[in-house]
Amino acid sequence: MPASITSAEPTAAQLARRRTLLAERAAHWKRTRKLTLVLLALWFATSFGTVFFARELSGVTLFDWPLSFYFAAQGAALIYLAILAAYAVVMRRIDRRFERRIGELE
Amino acid sequence: MSTTKNYFRKLSRYYLWYTVCFAAFLVALALLESEGMPRIWIGYMFMLATIVLYAAIGVISRTSNVSEYYVAGRRVPALFNGMATAADWISAASFISLAGGLYLHGFDGLAYIMGWTGGYCLVALLIAPYLRKFAQYTIPDFLAARYGGGANGRGGPVRVMAVGATIIVSFTYVVAQIYAVGLIASRFTGVDFSVGIFLGLASILVCSFLGGMRAITWTQVAQYIVILVAFLIPSMWLSVKHADNPVPQLAYGSVLPKLAQREAELNQDPKERQVRAIFMHRAAAYSARLDALPASWEAGRQAAQQRLDAVRLRNASLHEIRSAERALIAYPKNAEDAAREWAAVRDANLARGQPPEPHAAPFPGADRAQSDIRRNNFLALVFCLMLGTAALPHILMRSYTTPSVQETRVSVFWALFFILLIYLTIPALAVLVKYDIYSHLVGSEFSRLPTWISYWANVDKVNPLISIADINRDGIVQLAEIAIDGDVLVLATPEIGGLPYVISGLVAAGGLAAALSTADGLLLAISNALSHDIYYKMVDPAASTQKRVTISKLLLLAVAFIAAYAASQKPADILSLVGAAFSLAASTLFPALVLGVFWKRGNHRGAMAAMVAGFSVCVFYMIRTSSVLGAGAAGQWFDIAPISAGIFGVPAGIATLIVVSLLSAPPERSTAGLVDHIRAPE
């Protein structure tokens, strides 16, 4: 929370700081949204794409496994786990980047 | 930082010791069994030891601090929170029924595996971190603060509706869990079903009553370890037996082609065809009787009466007279009853007359249209299960308990990781058991049936869990002669694989842990919604913290007893409603939760309209397609089964929220501030 909100007459420097803070927040949210969108697209393709084309994929085998069965039984779930790992890692990076920028302001 | 690290180390040490003690307990019981301890004692030991253990953790973690009681003090490390979420998540249905479902339905059953894991992507990406940043106590808390409205903009109406949705969704679910507790306890210790329920209830209550979220969390971690061990040991055993590889998740790839080959053989086998032809013949006989109604009903009744008269006349044995009397009593009371009963018998015979479907083939069907219908239902079910997962209050509640937003994100990862340890084994177990039955039981002689079959056949005499009858009287078991209920599969796996009885006891303890842990979380979700949201936030906002926790504990007790009473009535319809809980949760809560974070313009009118619309569309579709209240299958839209009603409810909810919000005044400025706050990093 910016401390300047409460002061009655914000100085020009305080106003500028507040603007940068808001801009940084907006940038952070934009990055978060982009990451969310990309990972959701991957989630969607994994869940519904592989099932929709399951009959076409069932002829292909991967180490004895019919591909469509493998995806539904294990592959999709492992991709979900990877999505969650990627989200946690990249979000931490995005958060750190925000913290660094705010730290530069102080 | 170092205190949290120390805390984590301390916890890890505790649970490591606990695992070691549990292993020692197993070994001790195995030794006692080989020394000749009777089976029933092993069952008693398992039930007693685990229930005492969970109660002891509850006593140790007792608390009356508000933050500890509702959110475990917000200091559960991500790894342990993930483990507790996994135990919360893995219900009796996952543990006991899912592998059986996969055994029976093959590829179609995998919709549950995909749906119940993919939902966590939505939890992590769309909801959990924002709830943690919001940092209150319940799901209605979030919706009320976000949407406002009502007296003084405190969000009263939104809160009440969210509480209603929470209770409807959680209550059906908790009744099913308590039902499963009663079932397992009564099967493995021989106590009465209702005694079993109250035994299980006692351990749930000691735990959640004394320590709320804090006690539940630490118990659930302990329960997860029991669940994991109980599920992996028999699966690994079967895996070594059939594929010489102790990792079932990898091994069953090599069993799949063998299974497919065996399925093809059984499909062509002349004896199998003979049995299937007998079933088709029986189905045709019932069809003929159905066509000849009501004359056939009258004729059948007279025939039954004449048989009774005949045995009485020739002074037959009492047994014969009794069975003739019973046949007459069981005969349909009128032509309508006969039409219903005979149609059911005809369908059952028709189903058993079908050749086995290949296990790994997606959407087999007579033609492309039939196959498409199965694919669309699969997709719709996956959709509903995923969005329902992301809207279940007892799972979302767990995102409040971690120390930070980043820990919440990591915790969802761990939750899915621990769930997958079980969920990736379930399809493997289904394939391994199927191969075992197809290749060992099928083709064996009736005179030498394994003992587990008669044991499990006699557990429930009215609806036998497994029945094998020599239909074509050749003395050899054919696949078509086996009727198996999905629920028996996991519980009987140790015996199918030829493991000692101690493993059967372990599996039962695992099923009990799965049911108890889920019931704990659900009961807390319901009682918190009542005590925190209704009592504290609406009835008496001035209540002291002590009073709030006391009220919460009393409500928990009341809800638990109501749920136990409902479960002791053995409500078959409630059990079938559990599948519907996911569609209901998705339709009612998902739109308001997700748009609450991602769309600032949404207001309280939109949210309330969306909850009503989503819920009504979902319930309407379920009633419309139910065979009792509505038109049955004829009322279906796009041939979608009623369990996937959420596929219509969710779009209805989202569209209503957007349209109504845009048509009414934008939300207050403070709402935009709150949304900015939960989106911003810490």
- 3-state SS, one letter per residue, for B626-664: CCCCCCHHHHCCCCCCHHHCHHHHHHHHHHHHHHHHHHC
- CA angle centred on B383, ends B378 and B385, rounded to 5°: 95
What's the pLDDT score for residue B17? Answer: 92
A68 touches chain B (CB under 8 A): yes
Mean pLDDT of chain B: 85
Of residues B458 and B585, more confidently modeled: B585
pLDDT in tens, B454-487: 877 777 666 777 888 888 888 888 888 888 887 7
Contacts of B160 (CB under 8 A, 6+ apart): B534, B538
> Structure tokens of A16?
């500028």
Judge residue B301's burial from the number of C-beta atoms within 10 Å of its C-beta, 0-12 exposed, 13-18 middle, 19 or more buried.
middle
Q: What is the DSSP letter of B476?
A: B
What's the mean pLDDT in B125-150?
89
User: CA of A41, closest CA in chain B: separation in Å?
Assistant: 11
Paired with B482 in beta bridges are B468
Contact B416 A91 (CB under 8 A): no
Cβ burial B99-126 (10 Å sphere, 16+ → b, else e): bbbbbbbbbbbbbbbbbbbbbbbbbbbb
CB < 8 Å to B410, chain A: 88
How is chain A split into domains, by residue range? 26-105
Contact A88 B107 (CB under 8 A): no
Contact A58 B682 (CB under 8 A): no
Contacts of A92 (CB under 8 A, 6+ apart): B406, B409
**pLDDT over 90 percentage in chain B:** 23
Strand A65-66 and strand B482-484: pairing?
A: unpaired
Please say if the pLDDT value at position B136 is more than 70: yes
What's the mean pLDDT in B144-168?
86
Reported as half-sphere exposure (CB side, CA atoms, 13 A), residue A17 has a value of 15
- For residue B117, give the nearest of A55, A68, A77 by CB distance: A77
User: CA of B326, closest CA in chain A: separation in Å?
Assistant: 47
In this prediction, residue A4 has a pLDDT band, given cuts at 50, 70 and 90, of very low
Contacts of B216 (CB under 8 A, 6+ apart): B72, B84, B207, B208, B520, B521, B524
Q: What is the DSSP letter of B466?
A: E
Contacts of B537 (CB under 8 A, 6+ apart): B141, B144, B154, B159
What's the pLDDT score for residue A84? Answer: 94
User: CA of B4, closest CA in chain A: separation in Å?
Assistant: 19
CB < 8 Å to A63, chain B: 253
Backbone angles phi, psi at B38, to 5 degrees: -65, 150
Contacts of B260 (CB under 8 A, 6+ apart): B358, B359, B360
Three-state DSSP class for A61?
strand
Tally A–B CB contacts below 8 A. Answer: 130
Contacts of B134 (CB under 8 A, 6+ apart): B141, B142, B145, B674, B678
Residue of B nearest to A62 (CA): B253
Paired with B467 in beta bridges are B483
Contact A36 B125 (CB under 8 A): yes
Please say if the pLDDT value at position A24 is more than 70: yes
| Cα radius of gyration (chain B) | 27
pTM: 0.89
Q: Using CA atoms, how far apart are residues B506 and B30, in angstroms rounded to an integer?
A: 11
Contact A69 B110 (CB under 8 A): yes
CA torsion sign for B335, B337, B342, B347 is: positive
Contacts of B413 (CB under 8 A, 6+ apart): A81, A84, A85, A87, A88, B78, B82, B124
What's the pLDDT score for residue B328? Answer: 80
| Cα radius of gyration (chain A) | 22
Contact A76 B118 (CB under 8 A): yes
Contact B107 A84 (CB under 8 A): no
Three-state DSSP class for B468?
strand
How far from B354 is each of B11, B172, B444, CA to CA, in Å?
54, 34, 21
In this prediction, residue B419 has a pLDDT band, given cuts at 50, 70 and 90, of very high
What's the mean pLDDT in A45-72?
82
- For residue A64, give the nearest of B118, B253, B382 by CB distance: B253
Reported as half-sphere exposure (CB side, CA atoms, 13 A), residue B403 has a value of 12
Cβ neighbours, 10 Å, residue B665: 8
Please choose, from the candidates A46, A87, A86, the residue with its C-alpha nearest in 3D space to the C-alpha of residue A70. A46
Query: What is the length of chain A?
Result: 106
Q: Using CA atoms, how far apart are residues B538 and B359, in angstroms rounded to an integer?
A: 54
Q: Using CA atoms, how far apart are residues B102 and B602, in angstroms rounded to an integer?
A: 41
Q: Using CA atoms, how far apart are residues B489 and B154, in angstroms rounded to an integer?
A: 51
User: CA of A12, closest CA in chain B: separation in Å?
Assistant: 23
Q: Using CA atoms, how far apart are residues A19 and B198, in angstroms rounded to an integer?
A: 61
What's the pLDDT score for residue B212? Answer: 84
Three-state DSSP class for B147?
helix
> Structure tokens of B629?
């209240």
Please say if the pLDDT value at position B575 is more than 70: no
- For residue B409, give the nearest of A47, A78, A87 by CB distance: A87
Contact B118 A47 (CB under 8 A): yes
Q: Using CA atoms, how far apart are residues A93 and A63, in angstroms rounded to an integer?
A: 37
Q: Using CA atoms, how far apart are residues B87 and B97, in angstroms rounded to an integer?
A: 16
CB < 8 Å to B647, chain A: none
What's the mean pLDDT in B145-157?
81
User: CA of B669, closest CA in chain A: separation in Å?
Assistant: 16
Please say if the pLDDT value at position B65 is more than 90: no
3-state DSSP helix/strand/coil percent for chain B, to nearest 5?
80, 0, 20
Please say if the pLDDT value at position A1 is more than 70: no
Q: Worst-scoring range by mean pLDDT, A70-74, B318-322, B645-649?
A: B318-322
In this prediction, residue A2 has a pLDDT band, given cuts at 50, 70 and 90, of very low
Residue of A nearest to B407 (CA): A88
Please choose, from the candidates B662, B646, B537, the residue with its C-alpha nearest in 3D space to the C-alpha of residue B606. B662
pLDDT in tens, B171-182: 888 888 888 888
Of residues B591 and B467, more confidently modeled: B591
pLDDT in tens, B426-437: 998 998 888 888
A60 touches chain B (CB under 8 A): no
Residue of B nearest to A94 (CA): B681
pLDDT in tens, B340-394: 788 888 888 888 878 888 877 788 877 888 888 888 999 999 999 999 999 999 9
Cβ neighbours, 10 Å, residue B412: 28
Three-state DSSP class for B112?
helix
User: CA of A13, closest CA in chain B: separation in Å?
Assistant: 23
pLDDT in tens, B199-225: 778 877 877 778 888 888 999 999 999
Contact B117 A64 (CB under 8 A): no
Contact B126 A36 (CB under 8 A): yes
DSSP for B302-370 reads HHHHHHHHHHHHTT--HHHHHHHHHHHHHS-SSHHHHHHHHHHHHHHHHHHTSPPPPTT-SS--SSHHH
Q: What is the DSSP letter of A75?
A: I
Cβ neighbours, 10 Å, residue B245: 16
Please say if the pLDDT value at position B573 is more than 70: no
Please choose, from the candidates B641, B501, B511, the residue with its C-alpha nearest in 3D space to the C-alpha of residue B98. B511
Contact B416 A80 (CB under 8 A): yes
Contact by Cβ (8 Å): A47, B114: yes
Contacts of B70 (CB under 8 A, 6+ apart): B137, B138, B212, B213, B400, B528, B532, B552
Contact B680 A72 (CB under 8 A): no
CB < 8 Å to B125, chain A: 36, 39-40, 43, 83, 87
> Structure tokens of B214?
């804090």
Contact by Cβ (8 Å): B596, B603: no
Please say if the pLDDT value at position A67 is more than 90: no
- CA angle centred on B487, ends B486 and B491, rounded to 5°: 120
- The helix (H) or strand (E) run that includes residue A11 is none
User: CA of A106, closest CA in chain B: separation in Å?
Assistant: 16
Please choose, from the candidates B79, B169, B162, the residue with its C-alpha nearest in 3D space to the C-alpha of residue B415. B79
In this prediction, residue A3 has a pLDDT band, given cuts at 50, 70 and 90, of very low
- The helix (H) or strand (E) run that includes residue B483 is strand B482-484
pLDDT in tens, B220-242: 999 999 999 999 998 898 888 88
Please say if the pLDDT value at position B561 is more than 70: yes
Contact by Cβ (8 Å): B412, A81: no
How far from B418 is each of B225, B396, B533, CA to CA, in Å?
10, 17, 31
Please say if the pLDDT value at position B489 is more than 80: yes
What's the pLDDT score for residue B417? Answer: 95
- For residue B410, give the nearest of A66, A73, A88 by CB distance: A88
- Amino acid (one-letter) located at B584: L
Contact A65 B679 (CB under 8 A): no
Please say if the pLDDT value at position A6 is more than 60: no
Three-state DSSP class for A66?
strand
> Structure tokens of B573?
């319809």
Q: Using CA atoms, how far apart are residues B473 and B585, in angstroms rounded to an integer?
A: 50
- Amino acid (one-letter) located at B207: C
- For residue B379, give the nearest of A52, A68, A87 by CB distance: A52
Paired with B484 in beta bridges are B466
CB < 8 Å to A54, chain B: 107, 362-363, 375
In this prediction, residue B163 has a pLDDT band, given cuts at 50, 70 and 90, of very high
In this prediction, residue B337 has a pLDDT band, given cuts at 50, 70 and 90, of confident
CB < 8 Å to A99, chain B: 681
